[in-house]
Copies of this chain bind each other. A is one copy, B any other.
């Protein structure tokens, strides 16, 4: 039969995919998936809302909609983004079929095969899949406890420019980063924006965790709010409401937003009206903030349980990041280097994301990502205990 396109080599199963199959076994403790806890959602209230919306607006919600998304959702996004200091209007906002789709679209619009994307080292596994699909290379930029280092970004951009390499954008997850849990402080964000603006390079700010700070204070100001002309912002309702609906958004200058919309229409025609209206009605209701506060309280308790277990069980040489929100910590240990840690962990009844999966080049890594968001404290303790056994057995 017809041969695949050259990019098809990127569409092969990765070892990390197998994790999520294994994680279905109830005897296995999964510290792999970044799932939100949905036990905080009152199912009756959500069901009533969906029923009411469809009974009242079936002819509109079940029919074809606009590629620009629904006005009501775009108005809600304007309000949400104001909390991060962005003064966007509805015309800057494009609802998407999840924030992953936004990342796909911005890569499609900006990235030629062979381009070099700068990203944190380590970065989100799913972003590497997108960049691979467009045959981009990724240059990982070093991080410290405040996230991506602006001076390292400047150096990489200047080197790549000197080599004549095209850099379509710098990809950053500034809040409670996936996979490290680290957050960039405001000052660091301003420095990064300045570095990129000076060189006229776009920043793609992927910010699904911004509202999940354990202290329940306002989020650190977004880079989009600092320089909306040089930053495209990706937002998501998956972590603050429900991933199963697949609703996210992009914010970009109007001319760019228009191109992104046309690119999006060629993939999905428009985002689901039913999903958009359910998100708008829920997140716009009095139910939303209390449910989110309860969820974050759970995440905080779970992180506490994980931190205590790490302190109790990990070998002396191990270290880990201290997230102040979000879903993840990044554990580094010399015993991890040079091992197929995933296979060993599965054999001990625990799954996690190996550090090597968070680098485009699959480099050897002495770290793993542990997620605490979707697992009860006692199971977290048991999972970390098993993980410590894996390290001892190495």
Chain A residues numbered 217-258 whose CB sits less than 8 Å from any CB in chain B? 229-230, 238, 241-246, 258
Cβ distance A251 to chain B, nearest Cβ, rounded Å: 14
CB neighbours (8 Å) of A230 from chain B are 1
Chain A residues numbered 9-50 whose CB sits less than 8 Å from any CB in chain B? 11-13, 17, 33, 35-36, 38-39, 41, 43-44, 46-48, 50
Query: Does A290 touch B at the CB level, under 8 Å?
Result: no
Query: Does A7 touch B at the CB level, under 8 Å?
Result: yes
Q: Which of B5, B38, B238 contacts A109 (CB 8 A)?
A: B5
Residue of B nearest to A166 (CB): B3
Residues of A contacting B: mostly = helix
Check if B202 sits within 8 Å of A65, measured CB to CB: no
What are 18 inter-chain pairs, A to B, with CB distance below 8 A? A1-B201, A1-B229, A2-B110, A2-B169, A3-B168, A4-B259, A11-B262, A11-B266, A47-B50, A47-B52, A47-B56, A50-B51, A61-B244, A62-B244, A98-B269, A101-B268, A244-B272, A274-B274
Check if A5 sits within 8 Å of B244, measured CB to CB: no
Chain A residues numbered 85-114 whose CB sits less than 8 Å from any CB in chain B? 97-98, 100-101, 104, 108-112
CB neighbours (8 Å) of A97 from chain B are 97, 246, 268, 272
Listed in ascending order, the chain A residues whose CB lies under 8 Å from chain B are 1-8, 11-13, 17, 33, 35-36, 38-39, 41, 43-44, 46-48, 50-56, 58-65, 97-98, 100-101, 104, 108-112, 115, 126, 129-130, 132-133, 166-169, 200-202, 229-230, 238, 241-246, 258-260, 262-263, 265-275, 278
Given known A265-B129, A266-B129, contact A35–B62 (CB-CB < 8 A): no
Given contacts A4-B110, A63-B243, A274-B275, 4 further A-B contacts (CB under 8 A): A5-B111, A8-B259, A100-B269, A244-B274
Residue of B nearest to A238 (CB): B64
Check if A100 sits within 8 Å of B267, measured CB to CB: yes
A51 to B246, CA, bound (A): 18
Check if A262 sits within 8 Å of B5, measured CB to CB: no
Check if A262 sits within 8 Å of B13, measured CB to CB: yes
Check if B58 sits within 8 Å of A46, measured CB to CB: yes
Cβ distance A277 to chain B, nearest Cβ, rounded Å: 9
CB neighbours (8 Å) of A110 from chain B are 2-5, 8
Given known A1-B202, A108-B5, A244-B63, contact A126–B266 (CB-CB < 8 A): yes
Residue of B nearest to A260 (CB): B11
Q: Which of B50, B62, B133, B274 contacts A266 (CB 8 A)?
A: B133
Cβ distance A241 to chain B, nearest Cβ, rounded Å: 8
Cβ distance A99 to chain B, nearest Cβ, rounded Å: 9
Cβ distance A2 to chain B, nearest Cβ, rounded Å: 4
Cβ distance A107 to chain B, nearest Cβ, rounded Å: 9
Residue of B nearest to A199 (CB): B2
Check if A268 sits within 8 Å of B47, measured CB to CB: no
CB neighbours (8 Å) of A266 from chain B are 11, 100, 104, 126, 129-130, 132-133
Check if A242 sits within 8 Å of B62, measured CB to CB: yes
Given known A1-B200, A202-B2, A273-B244, contact A47–B53 (CB-CB < 8 A): yes
